[in-house]
Amino acid sequence: MTANVLQNEVPLVEMRGVSKSFSSVQVLSGVDLTLSHGEILALLGENGAGKSTLMKILCGIHRPSSGEVFIDGESLILGNSQAAQKTGISVIHQEFNLIPTLTIRENLFLGQEEAVLKRLPVKQEKEKANAIFERLGVNLNTESRVSSLTVAEQQLVEIGKALLLDSKLIVMDEPTAALSPQEVEGLFAVIRELRGQGISVIYISHRLNEIFDISDRITVLRDGVHVATKSASELSRDQLIELMVGRTLEQEFPKRNVVIGEVRLVASNLSRGGKVKDVSFSLKRGEIVALTGLIGSGRTEVARLLFGADRLEAGTITLNGKPMQIRNPREAIAAGIGFLTEDRKTQGLVVEQSVLHNFGLPNLRKYSGACGINHRQERDAFASFQKSMRIKLANPNQPAKTLSGGNQQKVVLAKWLERNSDVVIFDEPTRGIDVGARYEIYQLMNKLAADGKAILMISSELPEVLGMADRILVMHEGRLTGEISDVENATQEQIMALAVQ
């Protein structure tokens, strides 16, 4: 690994004193960033630290208010993303820019034709496409439709598009958010292959374990300011967290002392198609139960059955000792079940609507009277949560889409807290959320447990599972393959052994 930028080497990228403001809001203040050829640089910071804005400046989407950008020693003002691409910069966003109905080859060459007459013959396109993936050391049928690919394979197509453009730098934004551990290892092998070919990578992720596995150096931003750039080998996990949040977190997973009470919910022999097969478990008052397994193991499908989003084909659900027939989410909410979905942007929030509107949706009956909705009561209730949960926003009438991921998650949680659900399901509660906001989410989960709620936490992150759960349930191919009660002495290897049975 290239732990440090060589003194005599001209950096591939050098950003000097970059600042950016939107109206009166200062987003970046005098940020410096340097990247060598063939280097993997992790760019870290809490949500709202300025990472995305800095990358949008580098990629030509935004112009800096002040500062300079150098590519291979030449000062450039990148006016648009096409200009950035011509200098060898490509971005792989969390949401892929692929057309599912086209083949891999067609997606690779889409938009690359300068004119219809200059389009390559299909035979040459196939040859070039195959050569790209041979270069990456992977085997993909380039005539397969993108709709048939896994998320990991689609990511490889995005990398292939960057290589086809002769990119010298690929920016990867949360590239492993939807990947299984095996797929993450496969991606890392490809990234290391890119580094060996002299291609640089800026790697943005909230998964700190990955940062130490893959990066050569780490740059940290906090509140729009460059805090530090250090070799990955120089930093411990605790030191990195302190740089990101500006304070020491005594424990990454806050401890709690809660008396676990009687059973709140019993799921017996739940089944639906091939996704959920004869699944049974219970949740107790004050208990956090983790449901884990590889992506596609049926975890989210179990949650959807409990919440009435999908219909049970077999099995029963008992809540607080009463058998329930939950046919839709409205009935689940009325029964006392809340669900923080895996995808907060499309399922947990109406992002075009205001924060206040989203907060009120499951609580309309509470605020409604003979004269309609009591908006003052709704505003006062949200103001209380905004203060206690430290939700950062300009005003409650701003669209939910304008909030950071961590604050969006807090809004989703606030509406279920106001609903006072007895059972709360958290599906990937900290996905895409920075370490500081994670700690606050964990504290809120602990408070729910202390208040006697039963919590089902679905998570792919094994440190989170081991750090937060009282019991662990593991799924594989739609079935429960094991339960771990002695969490204090459990290991990630033990969980994985159950997950791959």
Boundaries of every domain in the chain: 13-245, 263-499
**Contacts of 95 by beta carbon, 8 Å cutoff, 6+ apart:** none
CB distance 149 to 88 below 8 Å: no
Q: Report the Cα 394 to chain-centroid distance in Å.
A: 24
- Average confidence (pLDDT) over 260-266: 95
Contact present, 231 and 40 (Cβ < 8 Å): no
Same CATH topology for 13-245 and 263-499?
Answer: yes
Q: Write out pLDDT tens, residues 28-41.
A: 999 999 999 999 99
Among 65, 5, 3, which residue's Cα sits nearest to residue 35?
5
Residue 445's CB: how many other CB atoms inside 10 A? 22
pLDDT at 2 over 70: no
3-state secondary structure of 498: helix
In this predicted model, what pLDDT tens digit does every residue of 341-376 receive, in sequence order? 877 777 788 989 999 999 988 888 888 776 778 888
- Section 381-393 average pLDDT: 86
Average pLDDT over the chain, rounded to an integer: 87
- Return d(Cα 89, Cα 93) in angstroms, integer: 13
Nearest to 360 by CA among 307, 406, 416: 416
Assess whether pLDDT exceeds 60 at residue 114: no
Contact (Cβ atoms closer than 8 angstroms) between residue 44 and residue 240: yes
**From 3.30.70.100, 3.90.1660.10, 3.40.50.300, 3.30.300.20, which CATH number describes the 13-245 domain?**
3.40.50.300
Sign of CA dihedral 258, 262, 264, 265: positive
Q: Which residues contact 206 (CB under 8 A, 6 or more apart)?
A: 44, 174, 430, 432, 433, 434, 435, 438
Q: Express each pLDDT in 184-212 by its tens digit.
A: 888 899 999 999 999 999 999 888 888 99
The pTM (predicted TM-score) of the whole model is 0.68
Amino acid letter, residue 447: K
Torsion sign (Cα): 119, 123, 125, 128: negative
Q: Which amino acid appears at position 113 of this protein?
A: E
Q: Which residues contact 459 (CB under 8 A, 6 or more apart)?
A: 290, 291, 292, 426, 428, 429, 430, 465, 468
pLDDT at 405: 73
Q: Which is the CATH superfamily of the domain at 263-499?
A: P-loop containing nucleotide triphosphate hydrolases (3.40.50.300)
**How far apart are alpha carbons 288 and 464 in whole angstroms?**
12
CA separation for the pair 133, 121 (Å, rounded): 19
Distances (CA, A) of 106 to 138, 269, 316, 367: 18, 45, 48, 53
- pLDDT recorded at residue 3: 43
Of 487, 490, 489, 467, the C-alpha closest to 252 is 467
Between the CA of residue 41 and those of 228, 236, 294, 298, what are the distances in Å? Answer: 12, 16, 28, 35
